[in-house]
Amino acid sequence: MSKLIINGGHKIQGELKVSGAKNSVLPILAATVLNGKINVIHDIPQLSDVNVMTKILRAVGCVVKRENNTMIVDSSRLNNSKIPEELVREMRSSIVFLGAMLARCGETVVSYPGGCEIGPRPIDLHLKSLREMGAEIEEAHGFLTCKAKALKGCDIQLDFPSVGATENIMLAAVFAEGTTIIRNAAREPEIKDLQDFINAMGGKVSGAGSATIRINGVKELQEIEHTIIPDRIVAGTYLIATAMTKGEIVLKNVIPEHLQSTIYKLKESGCRILYTHDSIKLIAPEKLKAIESIKTLPYPGFPTDMQSQIMALMSISDGISIITENIFENRYKHAYELIRMGANIKIDGRVAIIKGVPKLTGAKVTANDLRGGAALILAGMAAEGTTIIENAKHIERGYDHIQDSLKNVGADIRKL
């Protein structure tokens, strides 16, 4: 099992290029089954989640080649509509194959998805929406058997702006008869990237980035070449690493507009931030200020995927901060690991109260999930002494060789 060893007390200084977005790559890889042709996708990060998606594509008959950060997927030979159970259980995002496979094959069998244990993430909205489009879905023995002779466009109102449900409906509706309208759709930038991918293939999707998305069904799709948008969560993690180590960094290949809620909170903590259309510069203050209130919300609110990292930052700020986690109910496991490093954090249900301490100290801690693991790296970099992070495999799900990137800008970090 992989470990990370971090010697704290080293400033982050320099320049980093941000990789393509994990949360864009995964649904776009699922979308490659739609056209039955060649898909060339650039800026794909080296992640364990991407490896799982690649194995799924190969299992259903696609030919997949990777050349550095470019992936070529030929879905013309797709010959199997069943997604291997062991792969679905490794990663929750694999559920987006449900809509894509229904659209392409008219049937699929998928087990209930796995992934990080950060609280219940039901797929009822996915299933309800696909049934409204005409899919017959049977749930038994942990499997979903889905069939649809012909999906039909309809008006779908989501109870919650679920990213996964929005993506599944978009993928299922590409070939559906008529028009599908998604109301209360997720507005994340990754949804817009999926729309751009589908449209470049010849699909007809509009409205991504707003609460209403419209998909007009088409008969056929074309070959495509596409570049993934930069990862806003990776960028936010590097900005917080710099703030915690009192450093200075320039991030390249970013879209600052996608990071506004994170940038706003970092400015509130005393950081100086400058940006152009594709770069961000952060200069850390000598003393971090507490942020009175942080509430996670669907985009464009503060992202739940940045909650653990901002908690690490607030643990060494001057004053008291209050975080309210509104998306997942079990996303504070990292707090107890931060407490082992000397943080003063109290958890009450969905609320975390953080009283900043003068310093953290190195300790042996465990990464229980992807973003919580990232928070422990940040804490270890700012801590006095050595931190050992066990179960670091979780971090590899969403960060492309993070130890190498951070080492290049001054961190003392290595993988065992």
Q: What is the pLDDT of residues 193-232, one digit of tens each?
A: 999 999 999 999 999 999 999 999 999 999 999 999 999 9
Q: Which pLDDT belongs to residue 112? A: 79
Phi, psi of 66 (to 5 degrees): -120, 130
How much is the average pLDDT of 149-168? 96
Where do the structural domains in the chain lie, given as residue ranges?
Answer: 3-19+230-415, 22-227
Check 116, 146, 154, 271 and give the catalytic one. 116
Quick check: 72 and 115 in contact, CB under 8 A?
A: no
Q: Which pLDDT belongs to residue 142? A: 83
326 has pLDDT over 50: yes
Q: Is 263 annotated as a binding residue?
A: no
22-227 has the same fold as 3-19+230-415: yes
CA torsion through residues 361, 285, 259, 354, sign? positive
Is 68 exposed, middle or buried, given 0-12, 13-18 or 19+ CB atoms closer than 10 A? exposed
Is the CATH number of domain 3-19+230-415 3.65.10.10?
yes
Quick check: 87 and 52 in contact, CB under 8 A?
A: yes
Q: Is 412 annotated as a binding residue?
A: no
Q: Is 92 annotated as a binding residue?
A: yes
Q: Is 155 annotated as a binding residue?
A: no
Q: Is 121 annotated as a binding residue?
A: yes
Q: Which pLDDT belongs to residue 91? A: 84
Angle at the Cα of 374 from the Cα atoms of 368 and 379, rounded to 5 degrees: 105
How much is the average pLDDT of 255-271? 98
In the chain, what's the furthest Cα-to-Cα distance? 63
Q: Which pLDDT belongs to residue 111? A: 86
How much is the average pLDDT of 316-335? 94
Chain segment 344-401, per-residue pLDDT in tens = 999 999 999 999 999 999 999 999 999 999 999 999 999 999 999 999 999 999 999 9
- Cα–Cα distance, 63 to 28 (Å, whole number): 16
- Cα–Cα distance, 108 to 95 (Å, whole number): 11
Strands (DSSP E) contained in 168-292 are 179-183, 204-206, 212-216, 224-227, 248-252, 272-275, 279-283
Q: Is 183 annotated as a binding residue?
A: no
- Cα–Cα distance, 415 to 3 (Å, whole number): 6
Q: Is 23 annotated as a binding residue?
A: yes
Q: Which amino acid is at 205?
A: V
* Peptide bond just before 298 cis, omega within 30 deg: no
Architecture of the CATH domain 22-227: Alpha-beta prism (3.65)
Q: Which pLDDT belongs to residue 42? A: 98
1 has pLDDT over 90: no
Tokens describing residue 189 = 């930038």
105 included as an active-site residue:
no
Chain segment 289-321, per-residue pLDDT in tens = 999 999 999 999 999 999 999 999 999 999 999
Tokens describing residue 241 = 């690493």
Name which of 221, 176, 166, 228 is nearest 19 in CA terms. 228
Task: Kindly give, in sequence order, each residue whose CB lies less than 8 Å from that of residue 190, ignoring residues fewer than 6 positions away.
Answer: 21, 23, 24, 27, 163, 229
The answer to pTM > 0.75 is: yes
What is the helix (H) or strand (E) element at residue 381, kind and residue range?
Answer: helix 370-382
Chain segment 79-133, per-residue pLDDT in tens = 999 999 999 888 878 899 999 999 999 999 998 775 555 554 578 899 999 999 9
Q: Is 298 annotated as a binding residue?
A: no
184 has pLDDT over 60: yes
The band of 179, judged by pLDDT with boundaries at 50, 70 and 90, is: very high
Q: Is 80 annotated as a binding residue?
A: no
Quick check: 307 and 294 in contact, CB under 8 A?
A: yes
**Residue that wins the pLDDT comparison between 116 and 245:** 245
Please report, for residues 60, 130, 224, 412, the alpha-carbon distance to residue 84 in angstroms, rounded to integers and kept in the order given: 9, 21, 26, 40
- Cα–Cα distance, 136 to 133 (Å, whole number): 9
Chain segment 48-72, per-residue pLDDT in tens = 999 999 999 999 999 999 999 999 9
Strand pairing class (204-206; 212-216): antiparallel
- Cα–Cα distance, 177 to 367 (Å, whole number): 46
